[in-house]
Structure 1
Amino acid sequence: MTLNPIYNQSKYIARKKIFSALGGKLHIFNDSGDLLLFAEMKAFRLREDITLYSDETMGRELLRIKARKILDISSTYDVYDVETGETVGALRRKGLKSLFKDQWAILDTQDNEIGAVKEDNAFLALLRRAIAIIPLKYVLEIGGQVIPAFRHNFNPFVTKITADFSGDRQGKLDRRLGMAATILLCLIEGKSD
């Protein structure tokens, strides 16, 4: 089966409103501002289970991100393509290392580490924990390349992560995993905003 064309983008923008009484709404846009994916999160969930839909009607499921365990500092999130029925891979938060500098491992379908997402600078990572208005920046390490791929824009009312994969010219990162990383950065790392 052919992949959905939304995964052919080189740039994605994830937006989640911070203040929502019972969860939140997450929108993923392309560079032109067209809605690609939508998710509505329920508040107070012990195990993250995020379903992404083609639009706000939530009539067509496209991608699913599901935590393996409840409340785990090194939680692993499996990524499934609902349309093709395949497991794409997973993302694992590097728990203790992430206390000082956020780090995520990108895993293939056999749980082999094929890449990583890391905060760009250890000093700035520590400074960001003290001064919340310093925007988060992450690099993508994959196939021997380091790409400045993720940027968090500071806004007290909206968490916004811009993911730019244009530096991955050889397509080493499955964009579905890249999109899942963007979403997890927005939801998990964005909670501290």
Structure 2
Amino acid sequence: MNIETLQAQRQLIVRQRIRLMVNQYEVLAAGPDGGEGELLAYAQQKRMAFREQVTLYSDDTKQQPVLGFKARQVLDLAATYDVTDAGGSAIGLFRKDFKQSLLRSTWHLEQPGLGAMIGQERNMAVAILRRFVDSLSWLPYHFDFVLDGQPAFSVIKKFGLRDKYVVEIHNPGLDRRLVVAMAVALDALQSR
């Protein structure tokens, strides 16, 4: 993944691959027509891990890591996740707000030098339905992240057989690596 190419993106697509023992994700640039463009990153997450950790690579050969996120605590419903670059330097962090997430999922995301963002499901009715009717977990949802009352980015889960997300970036100062980590986490960690 070329960092300059990633930083230039205003729209990304995150697509989950279906596998038996792992969650796999492809992060793609959005093409000029809104379709899928070049592969920017590939992620794999083991299911049922005691401490959540996801590493994103430049492609599915998993030879070159580009970023990752890891829980600070083991098995914590409101764990904080540190997001780091390929060299292990901090990019930012995110955490789920357990109390507010009982009805509508709420996440806090921080980028050094930019500030703290809050992301929340847009539609309360869909959020409540997804909580109380397990068979409706496939329902599309929409997360809006705001910074100082202004839209920072949004993550929209599309309707389909496989999980697919469109990420719209509104704030040009956002580190796209942090946005990618949050978008992958919304799928990988949302049901916890």
Q: Is TM-score (shorter-chain normalized) higher than 0.5?
A: yes
Check whether the contact 1:160–1:186 (CA below 8 A) recurs between aligned residues: no
Task: Report how many aligned residue pairs link the two structures.
Answer: 183
CA-CA distance at 1:135 after TM superposition: 1.0
Task: Provide the TM-score with structure 2 as the length reference.
Answer: 0.84
Match of 1:104 in 2: 107
Deviation at 1:17, TM superposition (A): 2.7
CA contact (8 A) 1:116 1:140 kept: yes
Q: Counterparts of 1:30 and 1:175 in 2: how far apart (Å)? A: 11
> Residues 109 and 141 from structure 1, CA distance in 2 versus in 1: closer, same or farther, beyond 3 angstroms?
same
Aligned mates of 1:74, 1:45 — CA distance in 2: 16
Indicate if the aligned counterparts of 1:102 and 1:118 stay in contact, CA closer than 8 A. yes
After superposition, where does 1:121-132 map in structure 2 within 5 Å?
121-129=123-131, 130=133, 131-132=136-137
Name the residue aligned to 1:87.
90
Measure the CA separation in 1 of the matches of 2:53 and 2:176.
Answer: 19
Helix, strand or coil at the partner of 1:139: strand
Pairing 1:11-160 to 2, within 5 Å after superposition: 11-18=11-18, 20-32=19-31, 33-83=37-87, 85-109=88-112, 114-129=116-131, 130=133, 131-146=136-151, 149-156=154-161, 158-160=162-164
Change (3 A) 1:11 1:80: same
Percent identity (aligned): 28
Aligned to 1:184: 185
Q: Which residue of 2 aligns with 1:6?
A: 6
Deviation at 1:144, TM superposition (A): 2.4
CA separation of 1:4 and 1:65: change in aligned 2, threshold 3 A: farther
CA distance in 1, matches of 2:3, 2:14: 20
- Aligned counterparts of 2:181 and 2:44: Cα–Cα separation in 1: 15
What amino acid is the match of 2:26?
H
TM-score, normalised by the number of residues in structure 1: 0.84
| Preserved CA contact (<8 Å) 2:23 2:188 | no
Over 3 Å counting, the alpha-carbon distance change for 1:187 and 1:71 in structure 2 is same
Write the letter of the residue equivalent to 1:117. G
Q: What is the distance in 1 between the residues matched to 2:4 and 2:153?
A: 25
In 1: Cα distance, 2:118 partner to 2:72 partner = 19
One-letter amino acid of the counterpart of residue 159, structure 1: D
- Once the two structures are superposed, residues 47-74 of structure 1 have per-residue CA deviations (whole angstroms, 9 ceiling, x without a partner) of 1111111011111110011111111111
CA contact (8 A) 1:140 1:147 kept: yes
Name stretches of at least 5 consecutive residues in structure 1 with no aligned partner: none
Runs of 4+ in structure 1 displaced over 6 angstroms? none
**Deviations 1:123-146 (CA, angstroms, capped at 9, x unpaired):** 331133334443111111113203
